[in-house]
Amino acid sequence: MAYTSWSVIYGEQPSASKWNILGTNDASFNDGTGFQNGATLKSNPYKMSAYNATNQTGVTSNTWTTATLGTEEFDNNNNFTSSVYTVPVAGYYLITGQIYMDSSPGLIQGAGARIYKNNSTAILQNYMYDNNVSVDAWSPSVTGIFKLAANDTIRLQGDYVMSSGTATFAATHTRLSIHCISI
């Protein structure tokens, strides 16, 4: 249903059919079909946000590890399964990820987060490292807009450098969010 224009002459009482057009236009604006030039207000189903509800322990130093994100805040089109997002339609996607790493025992000298595409390519990576400072927690994050093809797969991975011990991807602070912003 599209927007239909109508007019009246000064002093004219609009006919019932003109009033019906007005009601139809009003309904079309409510459902998003009444916008001209291709613009719509329809809901975009291609978005998700997930985090890990429990600590992911035993993460090994110097090894990129996929974050286990077992709790979905929302996944409007059911594209997120087993910590992997499968792109439903080609388009531009805003992706944000954060991994909160905690160590015990030992101290982390550096940590990184990356967005990994198709199980083969890092499309964005942020690695923080300080050879002179070791702390028990790091929280690298990544954010970017990417042109993706249908059926591309996206996962969040983390890595760290530590002389001994293992790290944990902390519960609720390790998360991934994806939103299609344009097709």
SS3 at position 22:
helix
Domain edges within the chain: 1-42, 47-182
Tell me which architecture the domain covering 47-182 has in CATH. Answer: Sandwich (2.60)
* Structure tokens belonging to residue 24: 């139809």
Spell out the residues 6+ positions from residue 11 whose beta carbon is closer than 8 angstroms to its own: none
Tell me how far apart the alpha carbons of residues 150 and 148 are, in angstroms, rounded to a whole number: 7
Q: In a structure prediction context, what are the per-residue pLDDT tens digits for the chain, which is 183 residues long? A: 455 665 666 666 767 776 666 555 555 555 555 545 555 445 788 999 999 999 999 888 889 999 999 999 999 999 999 999 999 999 999 999 999 988 866 678 888 999 999 999 999 888 887 766 677 788 999 999 999 999 999 999 999 887 777 889 999 899 999 999 998
Angle at 100 between CA 96 and CA 105, to 5 degrees: 160
Rounded to two decimals, what is the model's pTM?
0.74
Question: Tokens 């797969």 map to which residue?
Answer: 153
